[in-house]
Every structure is written in structure tokens, then in C-alpha cells.
Amino acid sequence: MYAQMVETGQKSVRALADMSSEERAFQQRIDADVKVEAADWMPDAYRRTLVRQIQQHAHSEIVGMLPEGNWITRAPTLARKAILMAKVQDEGGHGLYLYAAAETLGVSRDQLIADLHAGKVRYSSIFNYPTLTWADIGAIGWLVDGAAIMNQIPLCRCSYGPYARAMVRICKEESFHQRQGYDIMMKLCQGTAEQKAMAQDALNRWWWPSLMMFGPPDADSVHSAQSAAWKIKLLSNDELRQRFVDQTVPQADYLGITMPDPDLKWNAGRGHYDFGAIDWQEFHDVLRGNGPCNRERLATRVQAWEEGAWVREAALAHAEKRADRGDELG
Amino acid sequence: MSGGTRASAGAAPGADAALFEYVLRLGDNDVILAQRLAEWVGHGPVIEEDIALTNVGLDLLGQGRMWLQYAGEVEARLAGTGRSEDELAFLRDGGAYRNVQLVELPNGDFAATMARQFYFDHAHLLLLRALARSADPRVAEIAAKAAKEVDYHAQRSADWVIRLGDGTAESRARMQRALDRLWPYTGELFATDAVDRVLVAAGVAADAEALRAPWLATVERVLAEATLSLPAGTWMHGANGRGGRQGVHTEHLGHLLAEMQFLQRAYPGARW
Amino acid sequence: MSNEWPLWEVFIRSQHGLAHKHVGSLHAADAEMAVKNARDVYTRRNEGVSIWVVRSADITASSPGDRDALFDAAKSKVYRHPTFFPMPDEVKHL
């Protein structure tokens, strides 16, 4: 998802018997659905895992502004331009809420950003793919935001209070994002042959990367089990992925475009769609920094940050001058 | 809408042609500046500022759409059919655009973007407040709504001029340079031509000349607080009746439009 | 690292007559900027009519370790709640 493959630092799920009394009390509160708050005692591994997960999520929002931002200046109508600007701006807001949630755990935003820029932490693989046509903006809203929402709604119930509250706000704001994407796709599919081809091409390029967003298969991840016990991951990768496929295929049918997967078919016995094998090599390549846009995305973020340094310094210097003069305004 | 309703608002014959031009000028300023601010999305110096600057862009885009929609209605009264906001925005070439040159200039660094915003916002605010009393009820209505938004833009950009001016040595130098470079483009904000004169006489338009003094007073006050100096030059681009408002632009507008209009031009007649 | 703007907590009154409620945090160089940033970040959807900001560092909080000592005592004062006093059905307006 936006936080794919979050390391928990645990080889296996901690059993109650192995825990200290503090740790046991902590786990029992989580089991009883009592939210953990910033000042509460928490195991170091829980804190570290959360910081990692929340910051991956935050970085994904901020880096995610770039592929869509790529089309704001070329949006085909003024209304589309306004909607896309508002959407990309929302993503900035979501990054901000998530950084703030991470900051409650005792890390600074600057440190988190420095870690991103140094390549120490990941963001979602999906944002390392290019937006080549206007239809990509539709496909991102429809598929990428659709996948994200599927993951984020359960996170509104996660055990860490500040994270859960940020997710509630994000989910509320994000409800229009997926619809605007689908709306773009509908317009294209009802349009000229060229437009429909553009929509199909976008689906071809975004479908598999969207499925990869849910992360590796459950069988490959012990981290998921620990995160589940801590209630910072509420549904499994495969479970979410299947839900996403089941929900999305009929939406593509309505548009009259097809998933680029010859193995995709309804399985009446399972009551789910079967789908083809995901190219996990590609997923790991992208996570390792070798996706089509990894270097470019990071370089763009670093450049914006570095070019903003003098602005941030100046604002601080001015605030200090004012405070010294005693004319800080309320 | 019939021409008769408008005539009773006090407009002289031929005033609709002038009104069309005038409303385009208002709308084009907003759309072009919003397009420039859109380039900042995702590239701001800090997330909070990225979001804030985008809000300004969104306000301007919304205002631009209202003006262009109205321009299309005025055009329909004049010519029988009027263009939609998108036909006006995406299918006019540079020479038919009526924005002042200031708003089409490239963003430059954050200081240049804020200096441009500062010069523009304060003129914009004075203009909209005057237009809120226009004899044309649609102009008055749009201007009154827009003035509330622009009031905040003007506060924000003045704030940044002060923060950067009275910040570090680097920020001060950058802001002074930006103010100096953009200064020659401010004259056009207060220039008037025949279009203005017809509409000022009809009580529809604001007399831009009269806005110069209060604008200058604000600029002087803010620059003083920012420890910056008022740029000295007297030469003004486009203030001689051959500026952006008459369709004479800088080299930058063509590139901006090439980007902005790409899809509509590449796929003629497609709906999006 | 040294030039990070301080963190502020943001409180918004969503409607006239309601109390300000904590909505989140943000960074700003000073209080004035914090109010403006709060307007831009937290009221994009018409969420507010009034904003308070306070430096996060200036908030004093109760300690989670004192939770029982501070709050358990009130749990036993059930007589402070009206439902503690059953009233006969025929008695009205109480």
C-alpha cells in the first residue's frame, strides 16, 4: 500500500508469555481496542514500526503530488484544472497530517524528510511510474486512490490514536478523489476513439502496478502478522488485493475497457475473480529504486526542499527579529 | 439575457463590445496567474506554503471562470452566440488574450512569485472593491465575491514581502531584486484606454488611474516595514496602449498557452 | 535541522456557538503565520468560523501514569448523574 513492507524488527509475533508486564498490559489494552496515545508507554518496536509506517505513508502523499501535478498545467478544461489542483493540494494536506502523526512519536518532520531524501525510507512503488497522458490522471484517481482508500478505511480503526484520527480526516477528504478519476475515465470512454484508446492504454499501464500497491503476498511476510497483532495493519495484503480486484473489474466493464490480464475471470466457486500472476520482480526492482521515475521523483523533491531552504530560514529569522522587538502579532 | 436589460443599467450603445473586452481582461488576468501558480503545486518551500499558494491559485481560477462565463454571455448578446469559458481559455491564441503582462511572467524563485503576487493582489483588491459598486449587476456580484478572497491574498503576499525583506540577507536581496525586476510591469495595472473610458463613463468599470495612488501608498508602507526600497524606474511596459490588455504580450505567454491548451488543440472537438 | 519552524496545535470552532476543537498540528514561523496556515490547511472545506493556535511546546498535559489517580475517583461518584435518582412516572418535569 502507501506503506508497503514495513519492517517491524521482529522475527516472529511476540507471544504474551514472552512479554514484560508493561508490554503485556500494552498488548491487552490493544486487544481491548483502547487507543494508544502519544504520551502512553509503548514498546520500542511498536514506536519504530509506526514511525516507519506513518512516514512511508506521508512520503507517499508528498511524492504522489508529482505524477498528478505533472498534468495540472495541461488539464483539458478549467473545471478539470481546478479539481486536479484541489486534489493534489489535498494530498499535500494528507502528507502534512501524517507527518504530524509521526511527530507525536518523537521524530521531527525535518528528520523524516531528510531520511526520505537520503533514500533511507521508501514511499509507495506506484508513484515511480510516469503519467504520460491525461488518461493517467483518470486511472490514478480510479485505481490508485481506489486501492489507497481500501487500505485506509480500516486504518481509521488502528490502535494508535493520532494515526487513526489523521486517517479519519484523510478518508473524509479523499472520498471525492476516486470519483473524479472515474469521472475522467467515463468521459474518455464516451468520447472519440482516440480518447477511448487513451483510457485503455492508461489501464494497461496502471493495472498491475495498482495490484502491487497492496504489497507482497501474505505468505512472504512475518512483519504483517506482528503489525496485525498491534492493530496497525488490519487486513492482509492478499485480502485487500482480492477485494480491490472484485470491486474494480465491474467498474472497468461499465467503462467498456479491459484489464490487461488474460487470466482474469470470475470464479463462481470462490465467489471472487481469479487473476494472473503478479510480476514481483518488477515490484522489488521499483522498491529498490529502479522504477521508471524513482530517481527523478526524489531529485524533484530534494530540489524543491533545497530551493525552499532560504525561505524557511528567512521566515524564522524574521519571527525571531519580531519576537526580540516584542511585536509578535497574535 | 436581453440587451435591453443591460441598456437600462445605464450602458451607452456599443458598451457591450467594450464590456466584453473588459470582462475578458479581468478573467484572463485570473486564469493566467492561476496557471502560473499551478506550476508551484508540489514544489513549494514547505508543505504549509504549498497548500496556501494553491488556495490562491484555486481562488483565481474560480474567479477567472466566472468572468469568462460572463464574457461568453456578453458575447452572445453582441454576436448571437457566445463562447464557453473553455473555448475562451483554450482556443484563443496569445494575441486574443487580454491579461496584463505582469501575470504571464515566469514564476522565478519564491521571492519573484511573491513579489508578482504582492503587486498584483493589491491592485486587484482595489479594483474589485471599486467594481463591487459597478452599475452592471453581474460585474458587481462577481467582484464582491472575489474581493473577499483577494483580501486574504493581499494580506498573505504583503506578509511574505515583509518576512523576506526583513528576514535574512539572502532573502532580502532576493526580494529586492524581484521587486525591481517586476516594477516596470506594474504601470499596466493602472493604464486606461478607450474600453475603460466608455465603461467608466457608464459607471460599469472602475477608473484604474484613480487606484494608483492608494496602491502606491500600500506598496510604500509594506516596503518600508520590510526594510526594502521602492523601485525607482519610471519606464513601464505596456502602459502606452500597446500592452497585454490590448493583446500585446511578452514571449512567455505563447509558451504558457502552448502547454495549457495542448489537449484542446491536439484533439479538436473532444469533450473531457 | 536547525531551521525547522516550530510546531503548533490548531483548534477550530466549526460553527458559531460551539467550542473550539483540536483538529491537528502544523508548522509555522510565528503565531500570525500559524493562524494563516491553519486557515489554509484546516479550513479548505468550510470547516471553521474561528481559529486558535498554540505552540505545541506550551501545552501542559496530564501524565498517562496518573490516569488512575486522576480519573478513577470520579467513576465512583455515580450520584452526580441524574439517572442515579429514579423518579415515579407520575411525577413530571424533574
Cα A225 from Cα A236, distance rounded (Å): 9
Residues B46, A96: contact at Cβ < 8 Å? no
Domain assignment present for residue B225? The answer is yes
Neighboring chain C residues of B168 at a CB cutoff of 8 Å: none
Cell of C1: 535541522
Does A323 contact C at CB distance below 8 Å? yes
How does pLDDT run across B188-222, given as a tens digit for each residue? 999 999 999 999 999 999 999 999 999 999 999 99
The answer to whether A111 contacts C1, with C-beta atoms less than 8 Å apart, is yes
Neighboring chain A residues of B259 at a CB cutoff of 8 Å: 73-74
pLDDT digit string (tens) for chain A, length 330 residues: 577 778 787 777 888 888 889 999 999 999 999 999 999 999 999 999 999 999 999 999 999 999 999 999 999 999 999 999 999 999 999 999 999 999 999 999 999 999 999 999 999 999 999 999 999 999 999 999 999 999 899 999 999 999 999 999 999 988 899 999 999 999 999 999 999 999 999 999 999 999 999 999 988 876 788 899 999 999 999 999 999 999 999 999 999 999 999 999 999 999 999 999 999 999 999 999 999 999 999 999 999 999 999 999 999 999 999 999 987 554
Domain assignment present for residue B99? The answer is yes
Cell of B140: 458587481
Nearest-CA distance B243 → chain A (Å): 24
Q: Which long-range contacts (CB under 8 A, 24 or more apart) does C45-51 make?
A: C45/A173, C47/C12, C47/C14, C47/C23, C48/C12, C48/C13, C48/C14, C49/C13, C49/C14, C49/C15, C49/C16, C50/C12, C50/C13, C50/C20, C51/C10, C51/C11, C51/C12, C51/C13
Q: How many domains would you assign to chain B?
A: 1
69-128 in A: which are within 8 Å (CB) of C? 86, 89-90, 93, 96-97, 100, 103, 108-111, 114
Cell of A239: 485480502
The answer to whether A166 contacts C33, with C-beta atoms less than 8 Å apart, is no
How does pLDDT run across B216-247, given as a tens digit for each residue? 999 999 999 999 999 998 899 998 889 999 99
High-pLDDT (> 90) share of chain C, % = 60
Nearest-CA distance C17 → chain B (Å): 24
| Other Cβ atoms within 10 Å of B14 Cβ, number | 10
Cα A187 from Cα A195, distance rounded (Å): 9
Cell of B67: 468572468
High-pLDDT (> 70) share of chain B, % = 95
Domain assignment present for residue B3? The answer is no
Domain assignment present for residue B171? The answer is yes
CATH code for the domain of B103: 1.20.1260.10
Domain assignment present for residue B230? The answer is yes
Of C25, C29, C30, the CB nearest to A100: C25
The pair phi, psi for residue B235, each rounded to 5°, is -70, 130
Domain assignment present for residue B161? The answer is yes
Residues of chain C that touch chain B, judged by Cβ-Cβ distance less than 8 Å: 5, 26-29, 32-33, 36-37, 39-41, 44
- Most A CBs within 10 A among C4, C63, C71, hence the mutation to make, goes to C4
Does B258 contact A at CB distance below 8 Å? no
The answer to whether C28 contacts B52, with C-beta atoms less than 8 Å apart, is no
pLDDT of residue A272: 98
Question: From B152, which residue of chain C is nearest by alpha-carbon distance?
Answer: C36
Residues A6, A49: contact at Cβ < 8 Å? yes
Domain assignment present for residue B1? The answer is no
pLDDT of residue A130: 98
Residue whose C-alpha is closest to residue B259's, from B35, B84, B92: B35
Cell of C18: 460551539
Show the DSSP H helices in A32-72 as ranges: 44-69
Between A39-48, A212-221, B55-64, B99-108, the lowest mean confidence (pLDDT) is in A212-221
Rounded to a whole number of angstroms, the CA Rg of chain A reads 21
Amino acid, res. B235: W
Residue whose C-alpha is closest to residue A98's, from A117, A119, A123: A123
Amino acid, res. B216: L
Residues C15, C48: contact at Cβ < 8 Å? no
Q: What is the mean pLDDT of chain B?
A: 94
| Other Cβ atoms within 10 Å of A127 Cβ, number | 27
Neighbours of chain A (3+ CB pairs under 8 A): B, C
Residue whose C-alpha is closest to residue B101's, from B182, B178, B179: B182
pLDDT digit string (tens) for chain C, length 94 residues: 468 999 999 999 999 999 999 999 999 999 999 999 999 999 988 889 999 999 999 999 988 888 888 888 888 888 888 888 989 999 988 8
| Other Cβ atoms within 10 Å of B183 Cβ, number | 21
Nearest-CA distance B57 → chain C (Å): 12
Does B69 contact A at CB distance below 8 Å? no
Of A81, A92, A191, the CB nearest to B47: A92
* Residue B9: pLDDT over 80: no
The answer to whether C26 contacts B48, with C-beta atoms less than 8 Å apart, is yes
pLDDT of residue B56: 98
Sorted by sequence, the CB contacts under 8 Å of residue B168 that are 6+ apart come out as A310, A313, A314, A317
Residues A278, A212: contact at Cβ < 8 Å? yes
Cα A112 from Cα A20, distance rounded (Å): 30
Cα A325 from Cα A145, distance rounded (Å): 48
Domain assignment present for residue B10? The answer is no
The answer to whether B51 contacts C28, with C-beta atoms less than 8 Å apart, is no
* Residue B88: pLDDT over 80: yes
Cα B39 from Cα A301, distance rounded (Å): 14
- Most C CBs within 10 A among B37, B41, B48, hence the mutation to make, goes to B48
Cα C28 from Cα A319, distance rounded (Å): 10
Cell of C30: 510565528
Give the dihedral sign, CA A197/A198/A203/A209: positive
Cell of B210: 484613480
The answer to whether A89 contacts B55, with C-beta atoms less than 8 Å apart, is yes
The answer to whether C41 contacts B46, with C-beta atoms less than 8 Å apart, is no
* CA B209-B210-B216 angle, 5° bins: 90
Of A77, A86, A88, the CB nearest to B272: A77
Neighboring chain B residues of C33 at a CB cutoff of 8 Å: 159, 163
- Please report which helix (H) or strand (E) contains residue A149, including its range: helix A145-155
Give the dihedral sign, CA C32/C35/C40/C41: positive
> Does residue B130 come out as left (phi exceeding 0), alpha (psi in the -120 to 50 range) or beta?
alpha
Residues C25, A103: contact at Cβ < 8 Å? yes
pLDDT of residue B15: 86
Strands (E) in chain A, as ranges, are 265-267, 272-274
pTM score, whole prediction: 0.94
Interface A-B, measured as beta-carbon pairs within 8 A, has a size of 140
Cα C50 from Cα C20, distance rounded (Å): 8
Amino acid, res. B205: A
Cα A274 from Cα A245, distance rounded (Å): 9
Boundaries of domain holding B172: 15-266
User: What's the length of chain A?
Assistant: 330
Residues A221, A7: contact at Cβ < 8 Å? no
